[in-house]
Structure 1
């Protein structure tokens, strides 16, 4: 597994600007990751990412850098705003979010920054909240997972565990799901999920929101089943509530009683410390009735030198 790289090289910034410009030229109207230094494919830029969010560039810096680096970063971003490409894409604002600092403060470099934009992905709309939390409400590396759910959802009853802001649920209802049950301990996240469904004009009678601890609520969860699809996308670590390897197996153990015959499972893990093999072996141990089908690709823009350090989305049926 690749080691964490903490230093960044100011001399590598021209590569960053070139890549951001190249990817910006390719985007249409949807939200998109433009640069993913975290995949360690760009030496000296491992702690930088850049997203295109409702005609705004958001650059995330994950480790503290010196003033000279930040000044050159801001200068290069301003140069992009003076380009014909920026005019063509109708760019509105540029911001740098300091993810290493307390509260992840957002520094606006250009324009009037919209902190609560509505964005489009795969024809679905999502309300984001930028700068108030580490994560803005939609994990962009999961785009192809949401696409798969949307394609497979028609007529199905779906269980979405660790639902967060209900991105999978929105995709599922958009794809014709009969009903989706979203479970997450954070009521505030589920409330945002409800708003996301409203944004898309969905019938909320087809969606259930359970603000519960999964491990204390199997009875309630089972009541809405059996499910034709179960989505498991836990946080890598949630203090006091979820220890990844131990608790993941507890969920897999329940699948037999939750699922309809012939159902599908999307099992995800985004911790560099947990491999895809862990999911395959754990499923064999805890839910032998299910067979590994394939690993979903991650979006090309999230290329990683170590595929096992990146998001792993595993399909079983």
Structure 2
């Protein structure tokens, strides 16, 4: 990380802020390696709060320049125009990802909007705040296609896809995730949007031990698979993803669609395409959804892969 490149960071953040609306949004994505010397730095805008993330330790020169630049931003006319409330720095490389409030008072549980939907974030307690911003286009795809359909949302986390689906008129959504606490947050997200939660099922189960229960709620018109790259004791990408794909034919309607996602830089789209041919040959690859422009990556294959099958 190079302090001499921080001018680029602040230029990009300022451009993002000047173009911002009320929606939650990534303003700077150094992790895509498009900005040399800033690869371990990101910045998000959420409920008038600037959330800066460091993914590796930096030297004192870099830290002083970063904090001084953020202070200068907070005193700018632009900051007043966007009604900025606070600036926080999260050290994602440290245990517990400690959060440092640099300016103002942090609202740890703000409600943000995206594509007409509301979500409650949880900032500062975990590495992730409850909504993955890079898969916004996937949520938009689901929302646009969900009307009258039954949707299965595997590895549901806080149910972002489910909220988008119900907002788009889905008949019913089944969310499956081992973490009951995440599903409870998903239920709260639905309530934030005044959704009829009788149209939503929350299953706090191990997917691999619950196929019978999952199948009982089908068949499904849309299946979403968005697993972690690795979760100790429960999911290993290259080994376990295929176990899911081979179940798809018995879960999916004949004209059904599958959104299969993978966010490991070590896995290319061909892994999913080839694995689908092997495990569920009746499903044909349609296309890869583009990631939001602010998540540009020097190596497209290393970025988030969102593939559609029918």
Q: TM-score range by the shorter chain?
A: over 0.9
State the partner residue of 1:168.
161
1:178 aligns with 2:171: yes
Equivalenced residue count is 310
In the other structure, the counterpart of 2:262 is 269
The answer on 1:139 being equivalent to 2:132 is yes
Matched, 1:216 2:217: no
**Unaligned 5+ runs, structure 1:** 1-7
**Partner secondary structure for residue 279 of structure 1:** helix
Query: How far has the Cα of 1:188 moved from its partner?
Result: 0.4
State the partner residue of 1:5: none
Distance 2:176 2:267 in 1: 23
Normalised to the residue count of structure 2, the TM-score between the two structures is: 0.99
CA distance in 2, matches of 1:61, 1:92: 20
- The more displaced of 296-305 and 74-83 is 74-83
The reply to whether residue 241 of structure 1 matches residue 234 of structure 2 is: yes
Q: Secondary structure at the match of 1:191?
A: helix
SS of equivalent residue, structure 2 residue 301:
coil
Q: What RMSD, in angstroms, separates the aligned Cα atoms of the two structures? A: 0.6
How many Å apart are 1:261 and its aligned residue?
1.1
Aligned match of 1:310: 303
Note the C-alpha offset of 1:68.
2.3
Structure 2 equivalent of residue 4 of structure 1: none
5 Å matches for 1:1-317?
8-317=1-310
Pairwise CA distance, 1:69: 1.3
1:27-71 Cα distance to aligned partner (Å, 9 max, x none)? 111000000000000000000000001000000000001222112
1:108-139 superposed Cα distances (whole Å, 9 cap, x missing partner): 11111111111000010001001100100000
Superposed displacement of residue 284, structure 1: 0.7
Question: What secondary structure sits across from 1:181 in the alignment?
Answer: strand
| Per-residue deviation, 1:185 | 0.3
Q: Provide the C-alpha distance between the structure 1 equivalents of 2:67 and 2:47, rounded to a whole number of angstroms.
A: 20
- Deviation string 1:62-117 (CA, Å, 9 cap, x unpaired) is 00012221121111011111111111111100000000111111111111111111
Q: Which moved more, 1:251-260 or 1:62-71?
A: 62-71
CA distance in 2, matches of 1:102, 1:245: 27
* Residues 266-299 of structure 1, C-alpha deviations (whole Å, 9 max, x = no match): 0000001111001001111111111100000000
Q: Distance in 2 between matches of 1:43 and 1:105?
A: 26
Shift of the alpha carbon at 1:251? 0.4
CA distance in 1, matches of 2:172, 2:104: 42
Does the residue aligned with 1:94 lie in a helix, a strand or coil? Answer: strand
4+ residue runs over 6 A deviation: none
Task: List runs of 5+ in structure 2 lacking aligned partners.
Answer: none
Indicate the SS of the match to 1:308.
Answer: helix
